[in-house]
Amino acid sequence: MAEIDRLEPVVGSHTPPLTERVGQIRRVAFSSLLGTVIEYYDFLLYSTMAALVFGELFFPNSNGAVSTIAAFGTLAAGYLARPLGGVLFGHFGDRLGRKSMLILSMSLMGGASFLIGVLPTYHTIGLAAPILLVALRVMQGIAVGGEWGGAALMVIEHAESDKRGRWAGIMQMGSPIGSLLSTLAVMGVTLLPDSSLMSWGWRVPFLISALLLAIGLYVRLSVVESPVFQKAVDTASVQKRDRIPALEILRRPRALLLATAVGIGPFVLTALINSHILAYAPSIGYDKADVVRTLLFMSCISLVCIPLFSALSDRIGRRVVSLGGAVGAIVFAFPLYAMVNTGSVAVMTIALMVAMVAQNALYAPLAPMLSEMFGTGVRYTGISMGYQLASLIGAGFTPMVAASLVAADNNSSRSLSLLMIGGAAITVIGLARLTESRGRDLTADITSSSV
């Protein structure tokens, strides 16, 4: 009850009763959790299928490595679209409100995934197939570009100042839950004979998106607008509200640059141990089903570590938790692939689970950290641009670059370890230039950024 008693009142002309406020933050957290689940389910499902089947189905080539690299290229197209989605959804989210943009982003994401599930392959419609696949991937990227920032803000702007990490941790559990669901879906279809998997089985996980979308929209329609945003609408002048948020951020880009830098490390690590590993491990002798099962264990680790590290950031600071993950990633980069290269499924599983702990420590503080770096009038745009630029740089090209480097270096894993170290090092540099933001007043400044 102590936590309930300390809930900050909703800002506005009318303060709802305590029980209503408790119900609001719970509904908001659950809504954001569902949105993040759908986001990660759809986006990671595509990454998995790009490694497993899309090369053969949409980019047939006599050289399997070339087909895989081409498939990972479509993965990069989605990441390229994410910053655009962040700007578009952020602009209208900062002007019109968080809730309406979140409903739109969820609908767009689920719809694109469903359409991928019914898309004809290259063998049916030729060149039109990869073109349509890329177009739908771009649609996914635009939707994801707006989803994460809005979902994070809805939670953080409803939460009390010293519990933002704890509530954001609930929302960010959508990452491992979405990954878990996508892994289970892929695991189920990979049990099919190869002929069935390639003909129709790969479509089933994408079609399931329609069910997740229906549940998510039902819950999301019941939440109320962010009280912090509502206060900004009530107090800010029309002149300020007419400004373009993206231009406001670019005029003073320090916060955006630091937000991007601190996010690169976790995304590089995610791309290597969740996506590229599905291509690398089978190339050195592992069975695909064993690798997919390992991803299942990694998701279970994240279900514990993400809320733990998020809540810990409320107590010891966002920078400390993230820095611990970055150092862990740097130290473990070469041991990780040395363990994977042993050929032992058990050793590989342990190695990837340890790497996932480091990734979770890097990732968990991002939502509250980035939210506390921007003023209310530009916050949706700012955190969306920072997060999505980090995802583009850190994860968008990493699987394709990693696959190319491994192919050029006779399947050596040295370049993979160096990629991991490089991503974590960029995060360390960003954290070193960042001031601790824990507990910052989100209503203090309407338009500016502060770091």
Question: 22-74, pLDDT tens digit by residue?
Answer: 677 888 888 889 888 888 888 778 877 877 788 788 877 645 566 666 666 77
Instruction: Kindly state the tokens that stand for 133.
Output: 């696949």
Which regions in the chain score pLDDT beneath 50?
1-13, 62, 237-239, 446
Q: What is the pTM of this model?
A: 0.81
Instruction: Kindly state the tokens that stand for 128.
Output: 């039109």
Q: Give the integer Cα–Cα distance in Å for 36 and 49.
A: 20
Q: Give the integer Cα–Cα distance in Å for 368 and 389.
A: 17
DSSP string of 261-319, one letter each residue: HHHHHHHHHHIIIIIIHHHHHHHTT--HHHHHHHHHHHHHHHHHHHHHHHHHHHHH-HH
Residue-level length of the chain:
451
The end-to-end CA distance of the chain, in Å, is 33
* DSSP three-state, residue 397: coil
* DSSP three-state, residue 106: helix
CA distances from 254 to 83, 223, 260, 378, 423 (A): 17, 33, 10, 14, 19
What pLDDT sits at residue 244?
A: 84
Closest CA to 236 of 10, 448, 41, 450: 448
What pLDDT sits at residue 10?
A: 41
